[in-house]
Amino acid sequence: MPFEDVAIVEIAESEKSRGNLDRGDPYQSLEKYHQQMAREILDSVELEKDDIDGYGMVSPGASTPLVYPPMLVETLGFEDLEWLGTTREGGASAVSLLEKAALAIEGGVANTVLCTIADLPIDPYRDTESGYAWDRDQRGFARNHQLPYGSQGPNSKIAHATRRHMAEFGTTEDQLGEIAITQRHHATLNPLAFFDEEIDMDDYRSSPIIASPHRLLDCVMRVNGACGFLLTRRDLASDLVDTPIFIEGHGNSINPQVTERPDITRTGLVEAGQDAFERADLQPAAVDFLQLYDDYPIVVLMQLEDLGYCEKGEGGTFVEQTTLRYDGDLPVNTGGGQLSCGQPGLASGAIQLLEGVRQLKQQGGRRQVPGAQSGVVTGTGGIGYAQNLQSFYSIVLTNPEGHNA
């Protein structure tokens, strides 16, 4: 199996900020965020900077110089690394990076790989006329076949999937609201979540339309922030932590639908999720939680269908009938997800990954899934032309109790 000699040993996550200096919001540069994650992880496992021989990061949405990964390595002072990895797949970047870092260890290229992911969607020092946080695509189908028709970012692009799912299957606003409300409840139990107030269905139904049918409470809010994780060889892991976490199975699908009429209600997890469960030798019903990439409630709902928890089109009924709370039938996004933690730019997918690791380490605090031993983490990202997302990653994580020897 591709990752059997690897363990995730530690994680770190920063506070989230809206980066408004006038309001006194906390501000850190990208480099400081990376250093903060490195510092917290190294201190926690009592390693020195020079014990790291591999480093991974995600190409941020914030504008960076052409050869930024080595620049960051130089700024942080990691010397003579054997491996440097970067991913650039939108929200899928974090899980994609995890897999690639794990492959570096599995393949014997590096022993101990530190990954830090940071982004500044709101950069008060950014020099642009437009004020966009991120450089707009200057070429390709995004520039020439979406922008001239006023496509307004992911809010309007994924709205196409929501609308189609409603039209084709009768999925309702209230059913999608259940996802947003449950995740917000989880966030009230998560000190690292940006939002800390409960919402109810009245709040959800009355929040303003952003791009129909998406309302404000359907849309993630961009925040500045950072995440980090440390991987090492499985035989070195127990020297560092009591509870190493294992990648028991994986399934990936990048660009799942090459066809004249792709189904916008279907994700790459139909194939990738099945692969992950098979490789982990676990049935969907047997895992203890799901940390599902959640830029919008419809994306969570489609993943529930495509991972096999219900038939395609029945996701709405499923979420009505299934308690998604951390102490319920099927815990989903137990930390609040990005919908309630905030979306820290291209570090977004790490929100799900870190919460999965945290739960397996029994560090979920007031939202701990009782006796969690295994869980699924997904990363999805990039938006296609008249499609939903482009890259799909799913991994099954276990702790030693849940690990199949």
Give me the residues that bind other proteins (CB under 8 A), please: 130, 132, 136, 139, 141, 143-153, 155-156, 159-161, 163-164, 167-168, 208-214, 258, 260-261, 264, 385-386
Residue 403 beta carbon to other proteins: minimum distance, rounded to whole angstroms: 41
How far, in Å, CA of 209 to CA of 211, rounded? Answer: 6
Nearer CB in complex with other proteins: 163/234: 163
Phi, psi of 174 (to 5 degrees): -65, -35
Cβ count within 10 A of residue 105: 24
Q: How far is the CB of 212 from other proteins (least distance, A)?
A: 4
> Is residue 365 exposed (0-12), middle (13-18) or buried (19+ Cβ within 10 Å)?
exposed
State in angstroms the smallest separation of the CB of 60 from other proteins.
17
Minimal distance, residue 147 CB to other proteins, in Å: 5
How far is 31 from 33, CA to CA, in rounded Å? 5
Between strands 374-383 and 389-398, the pairing is antiparallel
The distance of closest approach from Cβ of residue 5 to other proteins in the complex, given in angstroms and rounded to an integer, is: 37
Strand duo 209-211 + 112-119: pairing: unpaired
**Minimum gap (Å) between residue 218 Cβ and other proteins:** 12
Burial of 167 (0-12, 13-18, 19+ CB in 10 A): exposed
- Of the two residues 98 and 223, which places its CB atom closer to other proteins in the complex? 223
Q: Are 137 and 151 in contact (CB under 8 A)?
A: no
Q: Choose between 232 and 388: whose C-beta lies nearer to other proteins.
A: 388
Nearer to other proteins, 79 or 168 (CB): 168
CA distance 376 to 6: 17
Q: Given the complex with other proteins, which of 172 and 212 has the nearer CB atom? A: 212
Q: Which is nearer to other proteins, 20 or 238 (CB)?
A: 20
As beta bridge partners, residue 291 has: 377
8 Å CB contact between 347 and 11? no
